[in-house]
């Protein structure tokens, strides 16, 4: 194994996990794990710490990259990514145009399904971090491009099935989406604020789309305890609104 792995164990009723690269030693409060032993293991095997605590070895999947990958800023939450995937019907023959790349989390989810993802990021340092995250997850169908999507979209002469925008520049990009999207294609824009969402809706209204809707998804954990089962009382925070338009 020369790719990252998840090491997971249950201790005192709680799950503990580590996202590690095969290498030297991992020091945990449950003992030291010799990571070079991962070379002889496969996913599903266990590895023990010097205190005899067993950790199951798992292959990281997209939600693990959301939890553990290095971040340049706020990545899109899996619940919002799910809304984009389900409402665009993203599939294995699709080519996606994405911006901004950020930590690359949305691109990683999209790349796990689509044929190809082209993702633009204005900041070179963010692009480098995303490049590392994407390399770790082993996807070779994500092409990262450096540039301001508001300018670059004017020069793109490819067509895409799905366009995803998670950047403050989205309203400037929307007018050019019809030039790069196949008829039937979907645009999905993530906006943290009502004001930004309104701006996006107004920009879409000026283009030749066939359908548009804006949704917010509220996710609630269900807590299980001796006293009973109910939605978690932990605060449910707002993330963003997703506007989906079809061309
Ligand atoms: C909220 S983050 C995107 C997070 C990303 N979707 C993810 O899941 O990791 C927004 C990103 O857009 C980038 N950005 C802002 N303006 C941009 C522009 N005009 N062109 C390309 N990227 C831009 C920012 O640098 C930032 O990395």
- pLDDT tens digits, residue range 196-219? 999 999 999 999 999 999 999 999
Q: Where are the domains of the chain?
A: 5-60, 64-246
CATH 3.40.50.150 at 64-246, yes or no: yes
Which pLDDT does position 215 carry in this prediction?
Answer: 97
**Closest residue to atom 7 of ligand 1, CA basis:** 75
- Identify which of 80, 94, 247, 85 has the alpha carbon closest to the alpha carbon of residue 176: 247
Which pLDDT does position 22 carry in this prediction?
Answer: 85
**Over 70: is that where the pLDDT of 1 sits?**
no
**Over 80: is that where the pLDDT of 236 sits?**
no
Determine phi and psi for 195, rounding to 5 degrees.
Answer: -60, -45
Residue of 167, 171, 189, 192 best suited for mutating to test ligand 1, as the one with most atoms within 8 Å of CB: 167
Instruction: Give me ligand 1 centre to Cα 140, in Å.
Output: 21
Q: Do domains 5-60 and 64-246 have the same CATH topology?
A: no
DSSP 219: -
- Identify which of 208, 224, 209, 217 has the alpha carbon closest to the alpha carbon of residue 241: 217
**Over 90: is that where the pLDDT of 139 sits?**
yes
Cβ < 6 Å from ligand 1: which residues?
A: 72-76, 99-100, 102-106, 120-123, 126, 148-150, 166-169
* Cα separation values, 203 from 26, 92, 157, 170, 199, Å: 51, 29, 21, 9, 6
- Identify which of 88, 87, 107 has the alpha carbon closest to the alpha carbon of residue 99: 107
Which pLDDT does position 234 carry in this prediction?
Answer: 82
Residue of 67, 73, 150 best suited for mutating to test ligand 1, as the one with most atoms within 8 Å of CB: 73
Check: CB of residue 156 under 8 Å from CB of residue 148. no
CATH 3.10.330.20 at 5-60, yes or no: yes
């Amino acid at each position: 194994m020369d790719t990252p792995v998840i090491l997971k164990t249950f201790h005192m009723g709680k799950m503990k996990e580590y996202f590690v690269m095969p290498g030297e030693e991992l020091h945990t409060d449950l003992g030291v794990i010799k990571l070079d032993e991962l070379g002889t293991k496969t996913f599903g095997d266990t590895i023990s710490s010097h205190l005899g605590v067993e950790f199951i070895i798992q292959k990281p999947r997209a939600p693990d990259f959301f939890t553990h990958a290095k971040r340049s800023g706020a990545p899109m939450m899996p619940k919002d990514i799910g809304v984009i995937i389900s409402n665009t019907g993203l599939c294995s023959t699709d080519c996606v145009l994405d911006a901004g790349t950020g930590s690359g989390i949305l691109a990683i989810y999209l790349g796990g399904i689509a044929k190809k993802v082209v993702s633009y990021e204005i900041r070179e340092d963010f692009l480098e971090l995303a490049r590392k995250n994407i390399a770790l997850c082993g996807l070779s169908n994500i092409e990262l491009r450096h540039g301001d999507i508001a300018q670059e979209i004017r020069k793109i002469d490819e067509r895409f099935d799905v366009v995803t925008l998670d950047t403050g520049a989205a309203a400037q990009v929307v007018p050019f989406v019809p030039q790069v999207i196949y008829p039937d294609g979907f645009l999905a824009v993530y906006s943290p604020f009502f004001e930004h969402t309104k701006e996006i809706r107004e920009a879409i209204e000026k283009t030749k789309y066939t359908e548009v809707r804006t949704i917010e998804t509220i996710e609630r954990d269900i807590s299980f305890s001796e006293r009973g089962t109910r939605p978690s009382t932990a605060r449910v925070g707002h993330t963003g609104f997703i506007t989906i338009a079809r061309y």
